[in-house]
Amino acid sequence: MTLGADDLVDAGLVAPERLGELRRVAAQFQVVLTEEVAGLIDTADPGDPIAAQFVPRAAELETLPEEQADPIGDERWSPVPGIVHRYPDRVLLKPSLVCPVYCRYCFRREQIGARGKVLGRAALDRAYAYIRAHPNIWEVVVTGGDPFLLSPRRVAAMVQTIAAIDHVQVIRFHTRVPVVDPQRVTARLVSALATEKALYAVIHANHPRELTDAAKQAIGRITRAGIPVLSQSVLLRGVNDDAAVLEQLFRALVAIRVKPYYLHHPDLARGTGHFRGDIAEGQQLMRELRRRASGLCQPTYVLDIPGGHGKVSVGPCWLHRDRDGWQVEDSAGVSHRYPPPDGTEA
């Protein structure tokens, strides 16, 4: 069972006077929530971090001049349908553009959903042929949409087909299913991921409240199968732009054997300006996180450069050059000279 815009009002999750607003947004962007995330919404909290991620708001209808339909330039790097080949050693493979939920800040919000659907067999075969024909492709990142919505039979066929390509050493699945629709992570789905090649799963979670018992159990089914699990989060104003919240999120992930991989600065997707803070604020949060938590809890804060120029780490930078060499800041914010001047303690 999933919920659309009208269902949110029927279920008492959104006040009836906001129905017009929900429908206006739904006319432009997909609206779907799973029962799992709908059940997490705290209707008493107007700033609820779960509602902020999944319940449409009128602010989504405001487009800033810098916002784009394809903010990270996927289209430009797509040689055949379903493939994005931006970096020499790895490609994205998007077998489907359907998601279990539609996140209000999504960078692919204008490509995904009913409009895009599933890659047909002929298109999928062309995508495999492209990977086979390019021996520099070392890794295939299966994303979408959400590949964990495909049937276990189709997932197994995909894993076996990719694994049979000699030069592909690593297969990576990006998915939000374990967090937002944990019952879908069945024993059959996990078995479908079995391969001799290295296979990683990267889950997506932004707030510690998303890590329910059911989500943790779903993730446990994946890690127990020997599949390393990493996570990505998006830095979202009003959801997790707070050092204590990020600390709780990353500690909770590490404690269930999930390594935080990326913290994404939100992309310039249309109608998402209300989620984006300044990069300097993100850097400050990362500094604070370094002070508070284990190195295992530190993701890399990244920006996907608009126009398809790829992802880069955006700091913070602890090191500055001056006339005498380097100045390096410690996690308490104190600067030290490197190398230390003769005869002094650093």
Chain residues binding ligand PLP by CB under 6 A are 84, 86-87, 90, 92, 141, 311
DSSP 285-302: HHHHHHHHS-GGG-PEEE
Active site residue 311: yes
Active site residue 109: no
Active site residue 90: yes
Residue 141 partner contact from ligand SF4, ligand PLP, none using kind-dependent CB cut-offs of 5 to 8 Å: ligand PLP
Question: Quick count: other Cβ atoms within 10 Å of Cβ 85?
Answer: 18
CA atoms in the 13 A half-sphere facing the CB of 74: 23
| Rounded-to-integer distance, Cα 230 and Cα 252, Å | 13
Residue 32 partner contact from ligand SF4, ligand PLP, none using kind-dependent CB cut-offs of 5 to 8 Å: none
Nearest CB to ligand SF4, comparing residues 203 and 293:
203
Residue 138 partner contact from ligand SF4, ligand PLP, none using kind-dependent CB cut-offs of 5 to 8 Å: none
Residue 92 partner contact from ligand SF4, ligand PLP, none using kind-dependent CB cut-offs of 5 to 8 Å: ligand PLP
Active site residue 86: yes
Active site residue 267: yes
Active site residue 105: no
Active site residue 108: yes
| Rounded-to-integer distance, Cα 73 and Cα 59, Å | 24
| Rounded-to-integer distance, Cα 63 and Cα 66, Å | 8
Question: Least distance in Å: CB of 148 to ligand SF4?
Answer: 10
| Rounded-to-integer distance, Cα 9 and Cα 17, Å | 9
DSSP 313-329: E-----EEEETTEEEEE
Contacts of 129 (CB under 8 A, 6+ apart): none
Question: Least distance in Å: CB of 89 to ligand PLP?
Answer: 9
Active-site choice (267, 270, 276, 301) = 267
Nearest CB to ligand SF4, comparing residues 146 and 247:
146
Nearest CB to ligand PLP, comparing residues 54 and 107:
107
* Residues forming the site for ligand SF4 (CB under 6 A): 99, 102-103, 106, 108, 112, 146, 176, 204
Our CA angle for 20, 63, 84, nearest 5°, is 110
Active-site choice (48, 94, 102, 103) = 103
Residue 146 partner contact from ligand SF4, ligand PLP, none using kind-dependent CB cut-offs of 5 to 8 Å: ligand SF4
DSSP 62-101: ---TT-BSSTT-TGGG-SSTTEEEEETTEEEE-SB---SS
> Which residues are catalytic, by number?
86-87, 90, 99, 103, 106, 108, 267, 304, 311
